[in-house]
Amino acid sequence: MCVYRTKVAVVVLGKRLLPSGNATATLEVRMQRAIVVFHELKAEVLVVSGGRVETGGAEYSHATPFPSEAEVMRRLAEAGGVPAGAIVKEELAMNTIENALNVRDLAEELGLGVLHIVTSEYHVERSRSVFAAVFRSRPNVALEFHGHESPISEVERQKEEQVERFMLEKLPVHLRQYTNNR
């Protein structure tokens, strides 16, 4: 039996936090873009996906556990007018493949039919490749991608693009490693 889903969600991919536990300028811009997309589409769900990659630097107060990327994004979303009840935190993903695998599980659980994935413009190509591979077995879920311009220097952009090219080359091996375990 084929189940058709029409629930629309915006999915925001995490970005490593500053040692202070705050969002980088790139993550703040990503969340601003995601909030605009969420409101424009009148989406029902905003998924914020990102684990606890760092443990905090000297700038972090350590009074509370270091936040996950998803927790920081949740706070930004609420501050941007997204209702708390519409936000779903995915706090286990440590990379793009884990983002896709965990979001796939959430899409199934929540009955999501259209995912609008928001990330940096330099990260869209790899994200599209990863999500397409992971969702290949879920043809009833439509994937749309929204890249935002990152507030980084040209040198940083070139470095990010170099990393993306390298990761795209290694993607088939990495996907096999992850999907053989799930």
pLDDT band at 65; cut points 50, 70, 90: confident
Task: Write the CATH number for 63.
Answer: 3.40.50.620
Rounded distance between C-alpha atoms, residue 44 and residue 41, angstroms: 9
Does the pLDDT of residue 1 top 50, yes or no? Answer: no
1 lies in some domain: no
pLDDT band at 5; cut points 50, 70, 90: low
% of the chain with per-residue pLDDT over 70 = 90
Rounded distance between C-alpha atoms, residue 142 and residue 175, angstroms: 20
Q: Which pLDDT tens digit goes with each residue over 81-121? A: 999 999 999 999 999 999 999 999 999 999 999 999 999 99
Q: Which pLDDT tens digit goes with each residue over 155-175? A: 999 999 999 999 999 999 999
Domain count, the chain: 1
Rounded distance between C-alpha atoms, residue 68 and residue 17, angstroms: 8
127 lies in some domain: yes
2 lies in some domain: no
pLDDT band at 54; cut points 50, 70, 90: low
Domain containing residue 44: 7-180
Q: List, in sequence order, the alpha helices (H) in 42-180.
A: 69-79, 96-110, 124-134, 154-180
12 lies in some domain: yes
Adjacent-strand bridge partners of 48: 12, 89
Between the alpha carbon of residue 88 and those of residues 16, 140, 142, 175, the distances in Å are: 19, 21, 19, 25
Adjacent-strand bridge partners of 63: none
Between the alpha carbon of residue 152 and those of residues 18, 44, 53, 59, 128, the distances in Å are: 14, 31, 21, 22, 22
Please give the structure tokens belonging to residue 127. Answer: 């994200």
pLDDT at 55: 61
